[in-house]
Structure 1
């Protein structure tokens, strides 16, 4: 049976992982948003970047409330590579479809990170917050995917 300290560490690891993913997501949405030609998509991406920053703040607040004050503010290596790849595609003339493809791949990673976090033994209020954030990430993924698919059929 896990100890309270074990559960605390498990929650901290899960939230730190989500925070790193959200940092990647925040930067990715902002970077891709800058390159999109469609104004509606550009606004959506910039708003989504701010939403991911808000999600990060909510998770960091939980860690602070639980005595964790040394939160590493760095994304993942894969996220950094993904952003550079998206930037390169934009510079090489990849249009909105290519950028949305890159964004969808990033959203796949975010969906996985949330699923992994929810597989951990999280306290109920934390689990509820993470599940709410996950629902938003899934909706965002579907929005990006449907817009990407719509560009193929044009």
Structure 2
């Protein structure tokens, strides 16, 4: 069983991912030509802002302190958002959509790991499952947009 400190640290890592996703979606929306894609990414950015707020409150409720919501990027995340920045320079919707999916996979993997690790902590599971489901829905929306791009 993980200690409260370990759980808080893992939730803080997730908070970093969520904040980076929020910024990534916002940046991606600025690079998109199509209004529909801009709107979709702005909606996901707002969703991630809400998730970050919920996570921060949850961490504080459990005795954690959130000093810096941005912090250093983890290795995989850093590579992911570098890919997104490179994709944005191309201004091709398909390239940006692929890069966003890569970032979402990293975030989804983190949620899934935490849900598996925290199976005996019901108070964490509700929040994590709800947010994870939102990430899955976002990925499905991006995949749908990708399939429309091919048509």
Task: Report TM bin, short chain.
Answer: 0.7 to 0.9
Partner of 2:98: 101
Distance 1:22-1:70 versus aligned 2 partners, 3 A rule: closer
- Where structure 2 has 5 or more consecutive residues not aligned to the other structure, the ranges are none
Further displaced range: 14-23 or 100-109: 14-23
When Rg is computed on C-alpha atoms for both structures, the one with the higher figure is 1
Partner of 1:127: 125
Q: Please state how far the C-alpha of 1:40 moved relative to its aligned partner.
A: 1.2
RMSD: 1.8
Q: Are 1:24 and 1:80, in contact at CA under 8 Å, matched by a contact in 2?
A: no
Alignment match of 1:25 (pick from 9, 13, 21): 21
1:48 equivalenced with 2:44 (yes/no): yes
Output the CA distance in 1 between the equivalents of 2:129 and 2:6: 17
- Where structure 1 has 5 or more consecutive residues not aligned to the other structure, the ranges are none
Question: TM-score, normalized by length of structure 1?
Answer: 0.86
Question: TM-score, normalized by length of structure 2?
Answer: 0.87
Equivalent residues in 2 for 1:1-154 (5 A)? 2=1, 6-73=2-69, 74=71, 75-91=73-89, 93-121=90-118, 123-152=121-150, 154=151
Output the CA distance in 2 between the equivalents of 1:30 and 1:70: 22
Q: Please state how far the C-alpha of 1:32 moved relative to its aligned partner.
A: 0.8
CA distances 1:74-115 after superposition (whole Å, capped 9, x unpaired): 243433443333222332x34111111111111111110100
Secondary structure of residue in 2 paired with 1:37: coil
Q: Are 1:16 and 1:71, in contact at CA under 8 Å, matched by a contact in 2?
A: no
Output the CA distance in 2 between the equivalents of 1:52 and 1:150: 24
Q: After TM superposition, what 4+ stretches of structure 1 lie above 4 angstroms from structure 2? A: none
Further displaced range: 122-131 or 51-60: 122-131
